[in-house]
Chains A and B, each alone.
Chain A
Amino acid sequence: MSRIGTLFAREFRGYFATPVAYVFIVIFLFLTGLFTFYMGGFYERSQADLEPFFRYHPWLYMLLIPAISMRLWSEERKSGTIELLMTLPVSLLEVVLGKFLAAWAFTAIALALTFPIWVTANYLGNPDNTVIAAGYLGSLLMAGGFLAIGACISALTKNQVIAFVVSFVICFAFNLSGFPLVLDFFRGWAPQAIVDVIGSFSFLTHFTSIQKGVIDLRDIIYFATLIAFWLYANMLAIEAKKSS
C-alpha cells in the first residue's frame, strides 16, 4: 500500500514540476467560467443552482482530460523509464493505480478550484447545497472515467499526440453513446439489445442524473465499473506493449 503512495506522490509532483499543471488548471477554470456565464446563462436563468456550470463538464473533460492522460504511459515508454519502473519491486497493479490516482487527484484539485462559483451561487441566492455536492461528486466520477480511458490509450502508444486524439474520440463516443449519432452507427448491423447496452453507456445520462441530486447506486456502480474495466485494460496493454 505504501508503494502506491510513493508512486502516487512522484507522479503527482510530476504535474507541478512542469507547466502542464498550471496551464491545465488555468484553462479549465477559464473555460468553466466562460461556459457557465455565457452559454449556460447563469445570471439570466435567475435560479440559484449550478446546473449551467455542471452542464458543460462532460464536454470540457472530453477535451481536457486526454491532455492530462496522454503522457501517463506514452512518456514512460518513450523515455525508457518504464523499464526502470517495471523492474522496481512494485506490482503492475500498484503502478497503474498510483498513476491513475495521481491524475485523478490532480483533476480533483482543478475541480475544487471552481469553488468561487459555488460561493457566488450561495451569495446570490439559496441553492440546494446537497444537489451541488452531488454535482461535484458526479463530475469527479466522470473525470475518473475519462481518465481511465485516457490512461489505457496512453499505454498503447509512445506518441502523445496519437494518445490524445484517440482518447478524445473515445471520450466523445462515450459522451454521445445515447445519441443517434453513435447509435445509428450500430443500428444497421447490431441487435437491438446491443444497441440498448451501448445507449446505456452514455456518460451524459449517468452524469445528468447524479448532477440533478439523485445519487442512484446504479450510476455510481456504472462509473466504478467503467474505471475498473479501463484500468484492467490498461494493465493488459502495458503487459503487451511495454517491451516494444
Chain B
Amino acid sequence: MENLIEISELRKSFGPLVAVDGVSLQIRRGEVLGFLGPNGAGKSTTMKMITGFIAPTSGSVRVCGHDVATDPIAAKRCIGYLPEGAPAYGEMTPADFLDFIADIRELRGAQKEARIREIVGKIHLEHVMNQTIDTLSKGFKRRVGLAQAILHDPQVLVLDEPTDGLDPNQKHEVRSLIGEMAPNKAIVISTHILEEVDALCTRTAIIARGRLLFSGTPTELEARSRYHNAVTLTVAAAQFDAVSAALSALPAVSTVEARGAGATRRQLTVIPRDGQAIIETVQQTGRASGWAFDELYVESGHLDEVFRTITTTAGNAGEVTRT
C-alpha cells in the first residue's frame, strides 16, 4: 500500500524554542496513526505542518505525492483537517458553513447536495442545520468541524483531538465513524485519551519535546509496560499473605503488588520478569497449593504507565524506537 503521508526530518523552531525536532514518519492508506504526547509536545505543530498551515523550518511533508511547500493547493485538496478546538464561523449556520466548504472544495450541483446530505445524516446534524454555530453545544460544534473535514471524502484525514469535549456516546459514534472510513484513507489523530489509541489506531506515535520517541502498534506499546503479561487475581483476604509470598518466590515473577483492598477479598497483581507469560505458572502454583481464585486474568499492559515512562525519561536518550 502506498504512503499517503511522508514526513521527513521535519523541524520547526519558534525563535529559540524548538517545537518539532527531526520527526520522520510514513503513513500508508488504511492506517490510523494515533499521535500521543503531553501538552505542548509538538503534536499540533506537526499537524499544522502536514496540513500546510505553517511552514517547517526545515524538512518536508508530502501528501498524496504533493509537496506541501511547493504545491500547497494540490496537497490541501486531498486533506481533510479538523484543527484543534474545531474552529468554525460562529455567525453561520451549519447549512451555510458546509455549503461554503463544499464550494471551496469544488463540489458542484447534485453531487454537492448528495454529499452534504450524506455527511449530515452520518454525523447527525439534521436538527441543528439552521441554527447559528455560535449557539450550538460543544459536541455539535465538534461534529460540524468533523463534517467539514470529511465532506470532500479526502484521502488523508488529519484530526486534532476529534473527540475532545464529547460525551461517551458521541465519542463512540465518532470513533466508529473514523473506523468505518479507515480502510480507504490515511488518518492521523491526536489525542490525550489513551483508550482511544487502543480502540481506534493501527499505529501510535509518541512525541514529547518535539521528538518522536516511539512508533509502533498499540500492542507493541503495551508490550513495553511492566504490566505486560502480568496476572491479576482475587483471593480471600485470609489467604492473601500466603499467596503473595508463594508467588513472589517464583523465578519468573519480578514482584507482586497489592491492589484494591476489601474486607473479605483482596486483589493482587503478579508482575513477570522481562514480560514473559506467567499465567500457566501462576495457575499451576494455585492448583498445587489448593487456593481458590475468585478472579484471574492476564493484563495486556498499562498504556498510561508506558506513556509516562516514555515521555518523562526516554527524551534524554533521544532515540526513536522503531518496531
Contacts and interface: CB of A to CB of B under 8 A. Distances in A.
A84 B73 contact: no
Interface stretch (A75-83, A105-113, A181-189): A75-83
**A contact patch SS:** helix
Interface string A195-217: 00000000000000000000000
Contacts of B103: 6
A89 B73 contact: yes
B91 A18 contact: yes
Contacts of A80: 83-85, 87
A91 B75 CA distance: 12
- The 4 closest A-B CB pairs, nearest first, are A80-B87, A89-B76, A83-B83, A6-B103
Q: How large, as a class, is the contact surface on chain B?
A: 20 to 34
Given A83-B87, A89-B77, A3 B54 contact: no
**Residue among A6, A13, A88 having the largest count of chain B Cβ atoms under 10 Å:** A88
Interface of A: 3, 6-7, 9-10, 13-14, 17-18, 79-81, 83-84, 86-91, 242-243
B148 interface: yes
A83 B158 CA distance: 13
B313 to A, nearest CB: 30
Contact of B83 (A7, A87, A89): A87
30 contacts: A6-B100, A6-B103, A7-B104, A9-B100, A10-B100, A14-B91, A14-B92, A17-B91, A17-B132, A79-B89, A83-B48, A84-B83, A84-B148, A86-B52, A86-B53, A88-B101, A88-B104, A89-B73, A89-B74, A89-B76, A89-B77, A89-B104, A89-B105, A89-B106, A90-B73, A91-B72, A91-B73, A242-B54, A243-B48, A243-B54
A88 B82 CA distance: 11
Nearest to A91: B73
B100 A87 contact: no
B104 A3 contact: yes
Contacts of B85: 80
A156 B133 CA distance: 26
A13 B81 CA distance: 24
